Structure 1
Amino acid sequence: MKINILTLFPDMFSVFEHSIIGRARNSGILDITTTNIRDFSASKHKKVDDYPYGGGAGMVMSAQPVVECIKAVKQNNSGKVIFLGPRGKTFNQEVAKEISKLDEVIFVCGHYEGIDERAYKYFDLELSLGDFVLTGGEMAAIPIIDSICRLIPGVLSSEESFVEESFYSGLLEHPQYTRPEVFEDESVPSVLLSGHHENIRKWRRKMSLRITKERRPDLFQNVKLTKEDIKLLKEYEKNVD
């Protein structure tokens, strides 16, 4: 996948030079490039913001450098232009899956108190990380891009690495354990030591269902329960009683 990030602060994305994403870039699976919006300012002093018409606190990002930056990047990237802003669709795992299927994509990071409305016609999609305020679009872009990239074939070591993770199946992930077998008098659940793969699978599914129902009922209500799921939940509730 080719990803272009349009930003006023390219250095913030050095995080993608490390770990899993860094390895995927080195192997050629991911092509992540940052472009400084400031380089496209028509202002003598490379100014990219100004006071809002009508008054108000803060500065507004000018349309001119943003639009010119998009036009320049579009010469080598024909993908959708995604703006990170508060009016956008809330990002989730389903959105991540859809974007991960694209070959090319462009992310635009806003900053200051907002962006000139006239730039919006150049955006194909606006995404929000959630109902809270960040200092800039860069802060939202990093987790969104990471979430998308790890779904691309070859980025993780195996498909299983993300298929069983939280949110991928609509459920929170089951508890995980590693050595030692006993830590502070607490033992690893015996089923995980049994070597019985079917029982382990059922236990993990049961735990995912239970944890999601208890901690994220909003997610749980959208899960299509199978006959086995209903049986596993009844087993858990019976043992709790």
Structure 2
Amino acid sequence: MRSVPPTTDARRLATVSALMSYAAGAGDAFAFAQLGGVFTANMTGSLVLAGLTSRPAYGSLVSGAATALGAFLIAVYAVSRATPGRPAPNWRRIRRVLWVVGGLNLALLAAIAAKPSPGSGLRLGMLAVSAAAMGAQTAAAKRYERSSGVTTTFVTGTLTSLAQDAADGSTDHAALRVVVVVMLVLGALTASGAMSLDQRLGPAVAAAATVVAALVFPPDGDRTP
């Protein structure tokens, strides 16, 4: 059977997913390195870390993990309510969400530039902003990537879909899934390199990637219900 070439919109959406996965890797690397060893995209990781009671500054770790989890869930709920998936995704609203995510990452960049060593209150606020950005992009991606099994902030589900479909003899969406996983790692590597030059550059990688994703997303008029 001959494969059907992807449409322009499909290629754009694949690019957006890759960019947002790159941003998630960068954002998680920044949060873990500079905001108290807490993940803001990988909620599983933060919950596991919260169970390691022997870690130094355990109270600070738990408060950070709880803040990130709460902000993530609130953002997922809010964006899911704002971008209903039926009868079809609202592309215009999803694009607006991506602009909001870019704005949140730019706010993080401004905050860390003004206060490179944030106190406990500011640290929790920045964790909340970072986790909200990650939750928002996760919800947005699930609205437009409903059939591909791709998530942009955690890769366990994506890898499971990839391996399970391979076992079933299907290669549908395999290339996109591999790209998304690789981009997550590249985002973390890029953010790590940026922070080694200047720690204030931590959120810059995620901010740039999410702004570009919003620009690439299909125009407001394309398939907007």
Normalising by the residue count of structure 1, what TM-score does the alignment of the two structures yield?
Answer: 0.25
Normalising by the residue count of structure 2, what TM-score does the alignment of the two structures yield?
Answer: 0.27
The structure where helix makes up a greater share of residues is: 2
Bigger radius of gyration, 1 or 2?
A: 1
The structure where strand makes up a greater share of residues is: 1
